[in-house]
Amino acid sequence: MKKKNIKTVFSKAVIYFLLVLIGFVFLYPILYMVSYSFMDTQDLVNPFVKWIPTKLYTDNYVRACQVLDYFPTLIKTIYVNLIPAVLQTIFTSFTGYGLARFEFRGKKLVMLLILVTFIIPAQVTMIPQFLMYKDLNLIGSLYSYILPAIFSQGLKSSIFILIFYQFFKMLPKSLEEAAQLDGASFMVIFTKIAVPSALPAYIVSFIFSFVWYWNETTLSALYFGNKIKTLTLGLQNFAATYQNVYSMSVTQGGKNLNEAISMAGTLISILPLLIFYFIFQRWFVQSVDKTGITGE
């Protein structure tokens, strides 16, 4: 009995040790960002300052905010990502519901094509799509994101369709059948019964869609051109923009871009997502449990 106790204590200790170790590896870049973003030029070159800056130096943040044009860009970024994410969630739920609840010819083919669409890299479709938006004069407008989202072809739409398909499939049909016998139309059944009971699937889809749109740069750089600036694209051009903003002031005691300013810029560009994550944290971490997806 005693021997067994020691064994379980030991294995628990090993598990905690491994988890803490892995957790540190995961957090390391973030800790690095936080620590470096507060260092001034002296701290950066001082070999004795490794992790903790000698003082709380906030000028890096001031500069990074200026380079990114922070608050106007932040509001634009939220708006640019929120609208496609909401539309993508609504319209993929349509598709998922149709597949889960009704039988029709060609359903198997549609399911297969949805999976295939997931594998096709964006590079294969983005150039003709770009030319199409160009013909329609939609380059530099948000419609290049909105239109595919409305037709369930947005960013990683297949995943959301499958989430809704699985979720609606899990819901018992009885309530909807009862409503049908009472003479409710199918749209009423969908909006009044199916949608409210699928709330977890909607929340999970929306938060993932929002985050994935936020972090996307290949398509947004191509479709938005220079017209729409987001924080993610701003960070991509951080060094170049810094040169533009500060090249004049070098003579007036300005300084070159250093890693502390870059880290401050990176940190404030992901800060809204971090806050978003801690608000919806439970939904992210339990998304698989909540929607019952394991991919079968």
Burial environment of residue 277 by CB neighbours within 10 A (0 to 12, 13 to 18, 19 or more): middle
- Give the largest Cα separation in the chain, rounded: 80
234 or 246, CB closer to other proteins? 234
Beta-carbon count within 10 A of 40 CB? 20
41 or 236, CB closer to other proteins? 236
Query: Which residues from 71-90 bind other proteins, rule CB under 8 A?
Result: none
Interface stretch with other proteins, choices 11-19, 38-46, 171-179, 245-253 (CB under 8 A): 11-19
226: Cβ–Cβ under 8 A, 6 or more apart, which residues? Answer: 140
C-alpha distances (whole Å) from 145 to each of 117, 140, 218 are 17, 10, 13
- Residue 175, interface with other proteins (CB under 8 A)? no
- Residue 182, interface with other proteins (CB under 8 A)? no
List the one residue from 44, 113, 136, 188 that touches other proteins (CB under 8 A).
113
Helix axes 157-170, 199-215, angle to 10 degrees: 170
Question: Could you tell me how many helices (H) and strands (E) the chain has, helices first?
Answer: 17, 0
Query: Which residues from 252-291 bind other proteins, rule CB under 8 A?
Result: 259, 262-263, 265-266, 269-270, 273-274, 276-277, 281, 284-285, 287-289
91 or 246, CB closer to other proteins? 91
- Residue 236, interface with other proteins (CB under 8 A)? yes
Number of residues that bind other proteins (CB under 8 A): 90
List the one residue from 5, 123, 226, 251 that touches other proteins (CB under 8 A).
123
List the one residue from 135, 182, 226, 253 that touches other proteins (CB under 8 A).
135
How many residues would you count in the chain? 296
